Structure 1
Amino acid sequence: MAKTRISISIDPDHAERIRAHAERAGMDVSAYLVNAAVRQMAETDTLESQFASVDAVIAAAEAEAAALPPLPAVADDELTEEERREVQEAMQLVYGTDKSATRPGTAA
């Protein structure tokens, strides 16, 4: 079977690490990279297959939500104290209880 050449450019430090790992595995760099890529593709294919039904449910829910009419805006003074507490609790579930100005997952 004919082979196809693929050219890549990588950081010299990564190249040296790849060479060292390939050598330890008893492989040349090309075989090592092909092996790593094939393993990654197999893992990705398996995960996509396992989560296909979940992805379909999410896509259907998103489409259904997009078709809903917008909810009317509610002013803060229209909420009861209990409703305000419920909103605050829901926001803490989403954003956490950190009172700093940064959102979770972002740099300060």
Structure 2
Amino acid sequence: MCTIAKRIASLTRANDTICRIGGDEFVIVINDIAEASLVHSLGLRILESLKKPLEIMDNTILMGASMGIAVFPDNGDSWENIIKAADETMYKVKKSGKNGVGLCKNYY
């Protein structure tokens, strides 16, 4: 997971927060962003970075990712609601074929 975190960190800003919340799930908190589309673009760049082969003990591992993006306050008024919105969006991406980035629609 350290390699994955480093790949993500290389694409984010120093004041962004990256958290591994369990297993293969990460949360990225991005402050001061002008438009949700910019976060979507970041998600696509992260996805491309994660698709690069990973070498572990003479084995090549291919990865992918499904991401859900939620924006405060459009998609929730609390940490719990934002996580829930992003999680639901991620599962929609998984159902539609995986390896993608979904931007949550407004809930309110």
**Global fold match (TM > 0.5):** no
Please report the TM-score for the alignment, with normalisation by the length of structure 2: 0.26
Largest Rg, 1 or 2: 1
- Greater length-normalized contact order (CA 8 Å, ≥ 6 residues apart): 2
Please report the TM-score for the alignment, with normalisation by the length of structure 1: 0.26
